[in-house]
Structure formats: C-alpha cells, structure tokens
C-alpha cells in the first residue's frame, strides 16, 4: 500500500495534464507504481529491482487538494520475471481509480549498464 495527501504540485494543472486543481492522472499512476514497489520489497532478492513495463488505468473520480488517497496493489499473476498487479486507489472508502500494472524483476547492475549503453548510443 502507498498513500499521499494531495498537494498543489500533484494536480492536473501542475502536471500539465489538465486545467483543474484536482489529483492528476499521472500522479495517480505514480502512486499505483509506488504501491507495487512496496508490495515487492520483501519478495525480490538482493541485487534485483523491478521496473514497470505496462500500465492500464481508469481514473474514475476526482480528489481535491488536501484529500488523503491510498493505492492498494494485489499481485494476481506471476509469469517468469513478470508480475501483474491489480490496483485500487481510494479516497477514504471512495474508489477513485483502478487498473493494472505489470512489473519485471531484473538484475539491477545489468539493467543500469544496458540503460547507460543505450543512452550513450543515442547521443
């Protein structure tokens, strides 16, 4: 689980994803990913990390500045190094978003080396 209090910097206006002062969809997705990372902390081994590889979301209700929201991640499928999570985001008991996040468990050093090599090859 991961939670937050909605601040001005979390709004659609601040993210450039809209013109209203409510919790931005990109921030909802970031909260959901944070919940999946928290759920995996005790499951991955030293030297491993996880990376998000797929996101599907329905942002179905707004949350205003000052609202306390929380994301709950439930692992529903494990296939090789890929884990699928169903996510629900609530403000108190009210569902404000739901979706799916898939993460891949990878070797941290190898992943970072590959990312650096790819970045250098595009300069």
Kind of pairing between the strands at 94-107 and 48-59: antiparallel
Residue 113 tokens, joined: 């080396």
Domain range annotation of the chain: 2-121
Q: Is residue 123 scored above 80 in pLDDT?
A: no
Residues 24-32, mean pLDDT to the nearest whole number: 98
> Is-contact 101 55, C-beta < 8 A?
yes
**pLDDT tens digit sequence for 76-118:** 999 999 999 999 999 999 999 999 999 999 999 999 999 999 9
pLDDT of residue 122: 72
Torsion sign over Cα 101, 105, 107, 110: negative
Assign domain 2-121 to its CATH architecture: Roll (3.10)
């Amino acid at each position: 689980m991961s939670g937050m209090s909605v601040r001005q910097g979390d709004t659609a206006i601040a993210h450039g994803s809209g013109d209203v002062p409510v919790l931005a969809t990109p921030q909802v997705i970031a909260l959901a990913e944070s919940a999946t990372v928290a759920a995996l902390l005790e499951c991955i081994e030293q030297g491993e990390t996880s990376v998000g590889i797929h996101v599907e979301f329905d942002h179905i209700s707004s949350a205003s500045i000052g609202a306390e929201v929380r994301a709950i991640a439930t692992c529903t499928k494990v296939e090789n190094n890929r884990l699928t999570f169903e996510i629900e985001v609530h403000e108190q008991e009210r569902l404000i978003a739901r979706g799916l996040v898939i993460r891949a468990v990878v070797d941290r050093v190898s992943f970072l080396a590959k990312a650096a090599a790819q970045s250098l090859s595009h300069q």
